[in-house]
């Protein structure tokens, strides 16, 4: 039996149309994706609601998966409706309600030249109970380390796609931030402005305005980001989308990350490591404590994903329907 400490309640995974026991290993170590990160993936969550388990913004996630696959020039064995059906079946097969769902398209076993000319594209889907990433800090807020290395630029690769290989930069930076004593990393873009976290979009609040940056700032078009902009407006806050300078970040009243994995998490302390010559400098965000606006947005987001706010039920796909 495989250790499932970090995959609680996972019992089966779906691979190319069939369910396999979690402990069954089905992939050859020479699969192309394993060597070059030639994969595209999604991170999706389902939540318990009064009408059973519901997946948050499932069609949008699947659209983005298919978009990422097109960027990776993959020929897909399954389309949108089949992927949606397979995701629902994976949640049911594992008897999960609140869970994290990971569909992954990858170039599989066939050849190991960089061009995967004999490597078929395959799909795997897994689901397990994963509590919020950085969750233990969700109320108190997290500290971030601004990386010296800049985010891959949108002129170099399409950063709207979730391409596996790009996540090497996220992994290295996540490790470096923790080595520097912080909870999470933040990237500047090549222009020197704030881009995003390794797996999160970033917002600031200044004088009551809730602001995030544009897609041309080398960030992923986060589905939580889009949802939070709408939720914040609905709560009556002014919102803005525009370039975000480091100075704006340092002088913000509040700041927070958004993402499927983290949901909405306050950022309360910044360590700037972006200029190794200048050394590390620390800045509290606002009072250095979780602010009122992020608290309200976080609590509204939690209600929305659990189907407690009628007008946002449009974002839920009920697993048993």
Q: Are 132 and 259 in contact (CB under 8 A)?
A: no
State the binding string over 191-220 for ligand PLP (x if CB under 6 A, else -): -----x--xxx------------------x
In the complex, what is the shortest distance from the CB of residue 98 to ligand PLP, in angstroms, rounded to a whole number?
Answer: 16
The angle formed by the CA atoms of residues 320, 225 and 10, to the nearest 5 degrees, is 40
Q: In angstroms, what is the minimal distance from the CB of 151 to ligand PLP?
A: 9
When the beta carbons of 56 and 107 are compared against ligand PLP, the nearer one is 56
Q: 219 to 258, contacts with ligand PLP by CB under 6 A?
A: 220, 222-225, 258
Is 307 a binding residue for ligand PLP by CB under 6 A? The answer is: no
Min dist CB 225 to ligand PLP, Å, is 6
Partnered with residue 12 across adjacent β-strands are 21
Q: How far apart are CA 315 and CA 227, in angstroms?
A: 9
* Sequence-ordered strand ranges (E) for 174-315: 184-186, 201-206, 209-212, 238-241, 254-259, 263-272, 281-284
Nearest in space to 224 (alpha carbons), one of 209, 216, 236, 212: 212
Which CB atom, from 259 or from 266, has the smaller least distance to ligand PLP?
Answer: 259
Smaller CB distance to ligand PLP: residue 22 or 145?
A: 145
The b-or-e profile of 259-292 (16+ CB within 10 A means b, else e) is bbbbbbbbbbbbbbbbeeeeeeeeeebbeeebbe
- Three-state DSSP class for residue 146: strand
Residues 257-276 interacting with ligand PLP (rule: CB under 6 A): 258-260
Footprint of ligand PLP on 101-140 (CB under 6 A): none
Site for ligand PLP in 45-64 (CB under 6 A): none
Mind telling me the catalytic residues?
162
- Smallest gap from Cβ 221 to ligand PLP, in A, equals 7
One residue of 15, 37, 43, 154 binding ligand PLP per CB under 6 A: 43
Helix (H) / strand (E) element for 19: namely strand 18-21
The least distance separating ligand PLP from the CB of residue 185, rounded to whole angstroms, comes to 11
Which candidate, 222, 200, 51, places its Cα nearest to that of 133?
Answer: 200
Torsion of CA 206, 153, 83, 224, to 10 degrees: 0
**DSSP codes of every residue in 226-237:** HHHHHHHHHTT-
Closer Cβ to ligand PLP, 43 or 48, answer by number: 43
* Shortest CB 58 distance to ligand PLP, Å: 12
Among residues 119 and 260, whose Cβ is nearest to ligand PLP?
A: 260
Residues that bind ligand PLP in the complex, under the rule CB under 6 A:
43, 196, 199-201, 220, 222-225, 258-260
């Amino acid at each position: 039996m495989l250790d499932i400490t970090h995959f609680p309640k996972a019992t089966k995974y779906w691979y190319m149309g069939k369910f396999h026991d979690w402990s069954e290993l089905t992939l050859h170590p020479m699969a192309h994706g394993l060597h070059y990160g030639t994969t595209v993936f999604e991170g999706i969550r389902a939540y318990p609601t009064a009408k059973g388990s519901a997946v948050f913004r499932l069609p949008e996630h699947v659209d983005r998966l298919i978009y990422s696959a097109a960027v990776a020039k993959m020929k897909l064995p399954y389309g949108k409706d089949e992927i949606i059906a397979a995701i629902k079946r994976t949640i049911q097969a594992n008897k999960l309600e609140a869970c994290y769902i990971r569909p992954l398209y990858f170039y599989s076993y066939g050849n190991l030249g960089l061009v995967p000319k004999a490597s078929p594209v395959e799909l795997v889907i897994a689901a397990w109970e994963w509590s919020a990433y950085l969750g233990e800090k969700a109320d108190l807020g997290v500290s971030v380390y601004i990386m010296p290395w800049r985010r891959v630029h949108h002129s170099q690769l399409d950063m709207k796609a979730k391409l596996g290989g790009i996540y090497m930069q996220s992994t290295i930076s996540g490790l470096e931030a923790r080595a520097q004593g912080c909870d999470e990393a933040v990237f500047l873009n090549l222009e020197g402005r704030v881009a995003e976290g390794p797996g999160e979009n970033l917002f600031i609040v200044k004088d009551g305005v809730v602001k995030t940056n544009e897609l041309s700032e080398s960030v992923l078009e986060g589905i939580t980001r889009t949802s939070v902009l709408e939720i914040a407006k609905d709560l009556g806050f002014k919102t803005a989308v525009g370039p975000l300078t480091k100075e704006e970040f340092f002088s913000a009243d509040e700041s927070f990350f958004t993402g499927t994995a983290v949901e909405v998490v306050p950022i309360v302390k910044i360590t700037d490591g972006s200029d190794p010559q200048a050394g590390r400098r620390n800045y509290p965000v606002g009072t250095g404590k979780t602010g009122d606006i992020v608290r309200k947005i976080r609590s509204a987001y939690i209600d929305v994903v659990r189907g407690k706010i009628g007008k946002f039920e449009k974002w839920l796909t009920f697993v048993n329907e």
